[in-house]
Amino acid sequence: MDRPPVPAVVLAAGLSRRLGHPKALIRVNGKELVHWVHERLVLSGCLPVVVVNAEIASEVARILPDAHLVVNPNPDAGRTGSLQLGIEALSTQANLNPKRLVMAPVDRPGWDISVLNFLLEQQGDFAPECDGRRGHPVVLSTASIETVLKAEPHHSLRELVSFTPLSVDAPWLHLNIDTEADVADLESNNAALLACFT
């Protein structure tokens, strides 16, 4: 891998009201979702990685002692607010003004390192797509990072950035961990577990 490191932001600040407990701390094949996402980012050459969380800072710090952590005091304002905090933390904690950025929500873990590596080979704003549906993680360009920083937190990322879809072989790309039923479905899906969580 000869490309320079690309910083990343993990969004893990949602209050998980429908699930009833933090999505980031759900254990799948022996590791928490936040661990899986962080690990894949690092293995793909994403450095530094900022994890934006809300009420679980001490637990995330225990799981990821080497990660840059930032707490979103108002996660209900929207995911864009969490992304803004992550980008700002790259500047304040890592003294970095990123030219490219990976954003990965902790509750959309149905991707592997090959998907992210393929995205990182491109230049611009890209999102993976499988079976006509887009997913995560996404890669943002310099201009889009600046757009996000200037936006109101309640605006969704899809309103702010026009991502080019990149076709990938990722049948579990659309996993969305939102309810206990989603967790149960994932735990019983051996194919998905082998593809994404080994």
The domain spans of the chain are 8-196
Question: Cα(109)–Cα(196) distance, rounded to whole angstroms?
Answer: 8
CATH number of the 8-196 domain: 3.90.550.10
Per-range mean pLDDT, top range of 49-58, 73-82, 145-154: 145-154
Question: Cα(119)–Cα(168) distance, rounded to whole angstroms?
Answer: 9
Contact 115, 173 (CB under 8 A): yes
| pLDDT digits 0-9 by tens, 88-141 | 999 988 888 899 999 999 999 999 999 999 999 999 999 999 999 999 999 999
pTM for the model stands at: 0.94
What six digits make up the tokens of 168? Answer: 């990938």
Q: Return the pLDDT at 10.
A: 97
